[in-house]
Structure 1
Amino acid sequence: MPKRGGGRIRTWRPAGEHYEHDDRAHSNNIRRVSFKPGSNKGKNKFNNWNNAKLLLDDDVNMGGEGGGMVEYKKSSFRGRGGRLGSPTPRSAHKKKFYAGILPWYQVVIPYGAKHEKDIMLKSLLSYISPEIFIPHYFKVEGNAVSFYVDDAKIAEKLFYADRKITMPNGFKLILIIRNSVPRININAEMQEKMKLAMAKRYNATTKALDLTKFHGDPELVDVFCALFRPIIMLAAIDIIAENIPDLEALNLNDNKLHGMEHLKVLSAKFKHLKILYLGDNRIPSIASLESLKSLALVELYLKGNPLVNRFNDHESYVSDVRRKFPKLLRLDGEDLPPPIGFDVPEDVSLPPMQQSFLIDPSGQELVREFLKQYFAIYDSESRQPLLDAYHESATMSMSANYLSSDNRNNTQRLNAYISNSRNIMRITDRESRRRYLKTGRLQVVSFLSDLPKSTHDLMGFAVDLLVFKPTMLVLTMNGIFKEHFTNGTPMRSFHRTFVIVPNAGGGFCIINDVLFITNVTKDQENKAFKAPEVTQPATPAVAVAPNIITPAMSALAVSTPSQDDTHKMMLNMLCQQTGMNDHWSINCLQETGWDYQRALFIFNQLQSEGKIPPEAFVK
């Protein structure tokens, strides 16, 4: 016995010429049933209405297949007699709307051409009220009509309105919703229409162009001009750059923008653009704004984008946006606190890099001699002579650490330094911190003598003289040294700070010594202990404290600065601080026995009393 469920096959007419559907009864429309064996094998071969290619020509770009598709629940239906495999009744079919990735949806109404356009659209608007929509790019194709909507919420309401709207003549509207965009064809005619629309939206007084919901402009009612499509956005930018090169403000609100990479051309096309509105779009994250960071924006509007909802608090949101646009003064319509920065012109270049910095060039020779003598003793067989270089109450601390992400650390261990490292980030106990701090010159020199023997690369030193006064000097240096009597004679990098003060004998000595040691980088290792390529003096051009020479250092046969050098330094400093000429400055120093602090005190006292004559400042 043949299987039940077979039916006759309809003869389909060409696309666009749809049959009348049988919502009304017709006396001549008699349904015929055939029980012949093998008639379609019990399956209905009718095409699904969701196949929109039956409704529109194939050459129309229908876009993706994401949203608005009907989902049927797959299940075996047991009929009234309990027999499996019976045809599933229409009530068992469930369809569900899925929002697509594209912001546009095509609405197809088969047999829609049989109805008055205004009556049909009013019926649709009445059904989804209070929501409203604009039927973009309305088109008639045979018996079917189609148009586009630009809102997923509207598309969903229309999707569920399928066969629920009855027209005055008794027919029910069939609505087919697809996630699709209209066909794009940018030609001269379309560009001319875009120009006309932009001309009405441009304010010459403020040099501002408002392209809010640009695709909905009356000038563009019959062309697809959605700016979220990169090809259309780039065409619009070219038109703006050609006609408004000095544009300062651009409003792109409510244009369904999501991808922003192609907008990096804005910084090249519009040098004066300061205000940009991107509200009510689909920008997913702050990272999407990377292509715009070259713009020197002072105002930005982002409210209404998904990226705003990614932040838990407003402060983090403002901070992240300002990290992209440091000059921003206004965000989402609210004023921001002034940015913290340097008030310098953008075209100012940084000064050239120099190996050493001197707060006062007059200290260069003295510092150079100090470095030669100090490290000559430090790198000798015995470091005991350094006792005379330190103050009785001198303090000294040393810390060591490995370079991060350096795979050579395993072969160049810092065991000789780590065990005595006073790294206060790790040593939090007060007693331990005190124990690792060396106090008094005996402890200091004894500790230095226990460190590995070394040879320093004096030509590679980078030295900064930060403070240069008769009462105190601060000297910092970076450099490389090589260890002796250690396997592999490894190289180390160091940073050292000396604080130097006058001593009782009329000279200077180290009151504080801070040393940091780590491994060298590969670049430092390649450049260490090599002659400099630039033409410079044989000794490093460094700035060091004056007259820090001690009797032990004098034994190195290096010329010791004379008392005249010290007096000359005091004279120069007093002239700079007081503004007096050399004659009056020398008299002031001589009368105070070359006590700089006393001379400066007396000058300030006499100056406040008005007893210093004007000729003292004539140079």
Structure 2
Amino acid sequence: MAISRPDEVYQFSNNLPIEVSYKNTTTYTRCNTYDPRVIAQGNSWHQIVVQHNGKFGGRDSMPEILQVIFEAVEGEELFPVAYRRGVKNDRFLVRNCKAAINKLFEHNLRVQLSDASFVHLQVHFNVGDYKFGQISPHAKLVEALNRLYTCMERVNGVDGILNLCRFNTQMEFCDLVVNLGNCAVFETICNLIYGNDDKFRLVNGLILSDNGITTVTPLKVFAGAEFVVLDLSKNKITSSSRLCRDLSEVKADELLLAGNPITTGNNYPDCLRPIQKNFKLVDGIPIENLSKLYSPLDYEVDINRNGHRVDLNNKKDILKFQQSNDWHAIVIPDSGQEFTKHEIMDYFFITVSPKLSEIYPCYYKFSAGEHQFLVRQCFDQLKHLVDICKMEINVPRLTTIVDKYSALSEIQIDKTLKYYMLMNVRPFIQGQIEPMECIDKALTRRYNGINRQLNLDNFESVEGLENIVINLSSPKILRRVLTQASRKLLTSCVELRLTHNKITNANVSKVLNIMSNLKAIDLGNNWILDLENVKKLSALGLKTLRLDGNPLCTKYSSAGEYVKAVRRLFPELTKLDNIEIQNKGYLSSQKNFLCDVRGYDFVNEFVPRFFKCFDSHDRSSLKELYHRNAIFTFSFKYIVAQMTSQNFKRISKYRENCRNILKISDLSRAHTSIFLGANQIMEVFFQLPSTRHDLLTFNTDTMIYNENMITLTINGVFYDQAPSVMDTDILMSFTRTFVLMPVETKLGILNKAIKYQIVNEQLSIYNPTSQQLKNTFKYFKGECQDDNDAVTVSDKEALLIMFQEVTKLKPLWCTRFLEDAKWNFKKSLLIFLNFCDNKKIPETAFN
């Protein structure tokens, strides 16, 4: 009798081999159903073939393929065995995973990669018989856990910390894929730990970091347990509501969450309120101190008691702290609070040396007439401040923008601030600010992968940098940030924005060379005095450059002279200051032009304040900005095409008050449509619909700026906001011209402040251009989304009822869609419709 030979044999070091034969198999591909009888043959091995056709170009295909497969089978247990890579196909074996295979068929045996392309799968049922002694996923899990029980770690003086960090890399899993990012696999592991009574009673904590965990639902099995530490850091947890729900019965002295997307959300750490009673520390911060604005200066540091004081009387003592890794405090007395945080930091960075180590002030606060902040790991700078600067900060008279790091301008000293230092005020502990981590997170937030644009405008204001000052006016810190960005993004980035960062020198071409596809840089509204301070950027071969709003622009008497000077350095440039350079080498106009650089601060203060108020639910606070004899006129030239009757009715609110002279049939309206005084102007504003302006696309021209008058023109776009979820927002373009005059002088502590009021305003509304339609609300709309905590319990109940009436889904499914959309009704409906299109909702989900 002939013995049939297997087609393949998979060998394992500690288990019997698996013999694979394709003779009696049933194969499926590109379909969504299969004969259930083929999988009813006990513990047979099945093979899944990934047909990627070499699209990975020699790169390791395994991580990405497994990631998307685990996402496709989420909620069902899957343990790939004997993964084998191939030039055109990858393959692996599975068994006892009918539910996971069913989900792959629901996806038509295809999975979507990160580049949006699809890879097809082929399933061979019953390629081999399971034999006792062959590899068993559950047995391997037990084997790995038993080994880890014997080498549990010690944390905070307590033994018994079970370390499952990067659990998939354990030696027992050399032929097995274990992914804790799969909820069912994670649940299996948690049940094995909890079910082993002899071992679990010795476990005092769990380290689960860096495992790709997205949900911690399996941790519910540990309800009632009290751990020393529960380390969930460096995972992929995004939902705060689910985290709080799943950890509601789990307790630990310390919870570690750093490195999860949840910690970068707008409502973090406030979103942890429901479980604060369960933990004493979160990422090293006492739970009672946990907030975005947490500072050791508020709780752990007493300026009057902590640290070793160093001042001019004992300045040699600074040498005792050369090797210190602790926090040091810099304290600047300012009894009258003459200076703001930003002013103090500007003057501080004028004082520190640009040639020494980077310095990052952290945890700033003003208390008891003193500016206080912490620094560490910058001993050479501290010694420079003591020995060279004599512990004094010179406050320049800022009548002109001064180049802080060269002698291009003569600095006139207006005042000298003396300060002192407190050394070793507090040891550094895990969870406190790490500058490089902060920079990395900020870069991630500000990179738009769709447009391939890195937006570092006003970098200090990035979400997550509330407790650290990363001052890009320092050339060294600018290079550090851009070096990190270059290494992070490599060839991905095409456009770099760096406006409103007080940059004085942008010769950073060496660190940007790694961004080989970089074609556009925006350096507008900085403090660059001369083209010499940007000329090295010419090595990058830029096509687009923006420099307007810098003092260097005022050096040229005409636009033609300015363009010629720039093109001498950047011959490949096709667009300058957002305007195409014509063949003859000149620009038709300049954007964001300020006739006097002193206008920067005024524009930066007035524009956000005015439009934030105008977009709010209560515009009444704008009244104080208008003079009692102010004049306001309004023209409306919006052309309506294919608009619903409801939207047509909405825009009629604008027509009622407009003053289009050429189109007014009754010329008497030319007089009645001029609004005089703050009261009449407010009445008009109250009648206009709710709006939302995109400040990031504003073009600002300050034609006149002197002690007698300011004339400011702003162009941009805004949404006329829909009154209900059934309507849509209407995008409009506008121009507003303000004339402001001083009404009070010699205000403030220094008698230098001036109060301005609007005496004349002209508002025009018209259709947006094609360019505006393309660029509008790229960032601003996303940043303004309401966070989860803004929705009250009663709001959620109402949304649930509405969603259930519209979709006819059961409450559990309604909750799921609304939570995934962060209780945004429109977004939840879109997700629901997408699920319907892809047939992902079972019939049992409906009432």
Using the size of structure 1 for normalisation, the TM-score is 0.29
Higher relative contact order, structure no. (Cα contacts within 8 Å, ≥ 6 residues apart):
1
Using the size of structure 2 for normalisation, the TM-score is 0.21
